[in-house]
Amino acid sequence: MVIPKRVDTSLTGRIDDLEKAFAAGAYLSAISLALTIPDICGDRLYPERKNETRRRYVDWFNAYVAFNYLDKKSLVTNGAITTSKYYFSGEDCYQLRCVYLHQGINATDPKPGKTSYNLIQFRVFSSGPGSCDHIGETTLVAAGKTTRQVDLDLMKFIRCLKSGVEQFLREYPQMNADNGSGNYLYGPVLDFENGRELP
């Protein structure tokens, strides 16, 4: 008989799995998992806001990740940001999460107060010190339509998300809990392949 190994579904376990997916070149899986982490964190931080999925997601992302995507036009006074504009905010990430996880696409529907991008795309580069995010616009003169696109370095996105989760857990260490079923045999994933054989 084999006793299965339970897969760690805590926040740190999920970040570890995310990094493994990226390292293995499983980019679609890495993006899917990355886009769910603000959902989990927002749900844990704001449990009283059960019917406000979007708001919880956006608020958590803006508090812990968005500052990594600060627009160069933001105003900094005495080393502090006095007015900020993120080129990739919680609203942008939430809109991507919705279309990517539910429709399998990265073309968002720009609306006032939500994302201004028609397309949000990740790029993967060889490992190195820099990253390359890019914002572009294409105007189809005949149609009179402008398409906005942001391209994000996937490795940077994962690093920023990991850093945000680490900060979140320093402030709220109890939020790291593996919130799977309390019964060992009904956890989200039981790994029989790497389990332990009973004598």
Can you give the three-state secondary structure of 84-140, one letter per residue? CCECCCHHHHHHHHHHHHHHCCCECCCCCCCCCCCEEEEECCCCCCCCCCEEEEEEE
Q: What angle do CA 107, 108, 114 make, to 5 degrees?
A: 160
CB burial of residue 147 (10 Å; 0-12, 13-18, 19+): middle
**85 contacts 71 by C-beta, under 8 angstroms:** yes
Which amino acid makes up residue 13?
A: G
Q: What is the chain's pLDDT, residue by residue, as a tens digit (199 residues)?
A: 777 667 778 899 999 999 999 999 999 999 999 999 999 999 999 999 989 999 999 999 999 999 999 876 655 555 555 455 888 999 999 999 999 999 998 888 877 778 888 989 999 987 666 667 888 877 666 666 778 889 999 999 999 999 999 999 999 999 998 765 455 555 667 767 776 777 7
Q: Where are the alpha helices (DSSP H) in the chain?
A: 11-23, 27-45, 53-64, 90-103, 154-171
Candidates 11, 46, 49, 35; CA nearest to 88 is 35
Which amino acid makes up residue 101?
A: L
Which two tokens mark 113? Answer: 């107060």
Using DSSP's 3-state secondary structure scheme, residue 96 falls into helix
Which amino acid makes up residue 8?
A: D
